[in-house]
Amino acid sequence: MKIISTIDELRDQLRGQLRTAFVPTMGNLHEGHLSLMRLARRHGDPVVASIFVNRLQFGPNEDFDKYPRTFQADVEKLEKEGVYVLFAPTEKDLYPEPQEYRVQPPDNLGTILEGEFRPGFFNGVCTVVTKLFSCVQPRVAVFGKKDYQQLMIIRNMARQFALPTEIIGAETFRAEDGLALSSRNGYLSSEERAEAPFLFQTLNWVAEQTRAGHPDLAALEREAMARLAARGWKPDYVSIRKRMNLQAPDAADYIPHSAENAPLVVLTAAKLGNTRLIDNLEI
């Protein structure tokens, strides 16, 4: 595997490649990331991964400084997956001057759910992904469904800018007890780790209630938040949305027991101790 940090060298290395499959990451790789690499391999060749902890997508009080950086271990994992190039720019390589031009997602997607609790997050994500795409020029790029809203925003961005990159969504990789794999799981104490699967259990409960024809989805969301809070979680949201645009379903989209309902997804973000976890489940 070639490890490249500068944009010029990356362009030289990938010149003439028309089927590149790209997996952008922030490192601290786990099985979830590796499953993205395997999916990428099925959709293109060569597989290019990136590791870059993108300051632009972290708020001032977020975990940019303490975000786990495990470069050597990551390199070994990617080598085993047969990744051809690892693009690992420094901040100076990717942002040699202040990144004043930004890619701003529309408010109806960028300021809801995660965007409400992490202002500027999707601006930072869209900006870095656009820049990484410009460097790698992939034919396909793979993103996990665990970051459901991020996947939708990037897919819409690629479509509206007519980017030549197809966006592929990969299923969430879960531990045996249901917890979605995430680099932030490493922040959990052993007690918190034992409690963490309750988040996915809550999503399953919401999905079952919805499928069983719960008469009031807003009340169901409130009840799910209360269940989390009762066990010491601090939920930011548990929200049932339409899969197609992440807007709340209205009376015509959800009629209890109707087979015609709009496809839905339930999304959540909640803090356990100091660790904020997100997850989602298609209903």
Catalytic center residues:
33
Residues 46-75 that bind ligand PAF (CB under 6 A): 54, 57
Contact status: 24 vs ligand PAF (CB under 6 A): yes
Sole binder of ligand PAF in the list 81, 147, 221, 236 (CB under 6 A): 147
Task: Map tokens 């929200």 to a residue.
Answer: 239
Q: How far is the CB of 230 from ligand PAF (least distance, A)?
A: 31
- The two structure tokens encoding residue 155: 């897919």
Contact status: 149 vs ligand PAF (CB under 6 A): no
β partners of residue 23 = 49
- Segment contacting ligand PAF by CB under 6 A, of 24-32, 173-181, 193-201, 265-273: 24-32
Q: How far is the CB of 133 from ligand PAF (least distance, A)?
A: 11
- Segment contacting ligand PAF by CB under 6 A, of 20-28, 36-44, 169-177, 255-263: 20-28
Rounded to whole angstroms, how far apart are CA atoms 50 and 4? 9
Q: How far is the CB of 49 from ligand PAF (least distance, A)?
A: 10
| Strand pairing category for 47-51 and 21-25 | parallel
Greatest Cα pair distance in the chain: 59
Site string for ligand PAF, 74-113 (x = CB under 6 A): ----------------------------------------
Q: How far is the CB of 91 from ligand PAF (least distance, A)?
A: 13
Give the side-chain half-sphere CA count within 13 A for 88. 17
Q: What is the DSSP string of 207-268?
A: HHHHHTT-S-HHHHHHHHHHHHHHTT-EEEEEEEEETTT-PPP-TTT--TT-TTPPPEEEEE
Q: How far is the CB of 85 from ligand PAF (least distance, A)?
A: 16
Sole binder of ligand PAF in the list 128, 163, 220, 270 (CB under 6 A): 128
Pair 181, 156: CB distance under 8 Å: no
Task: Map tokens 């990551």 to a residue.
Answer: 74
Contact status: 136 vs ligand PAF (CB under 6 A): no
In three-state secondary structure terms, 182 is coil
Contact status: 26 vs ligand PAF (CB under 6 A): yes
Sole binder of ligand PAF in the list 10, 14, 22, 25 (CB under 6 A): 25
Ramachandran area for residue 150 (φ above 0: left; ψ -120 to 50: alpha; else beta): alpha
Contact status: 129 vs ligand PAF (CB under 6 A): yes
- 280 CB neighbour count, 10 Å cutoff: 23
- Segment contacting ligand PAF by CB under 6 A, of 23-31, 62-70, 226-234, 246-254: 23-31
**Which residues of the shown chain bind ligand PAF in the complex (CB under 6 A)?**
24-26, 54, 57, 125, 128-129, 147, 150
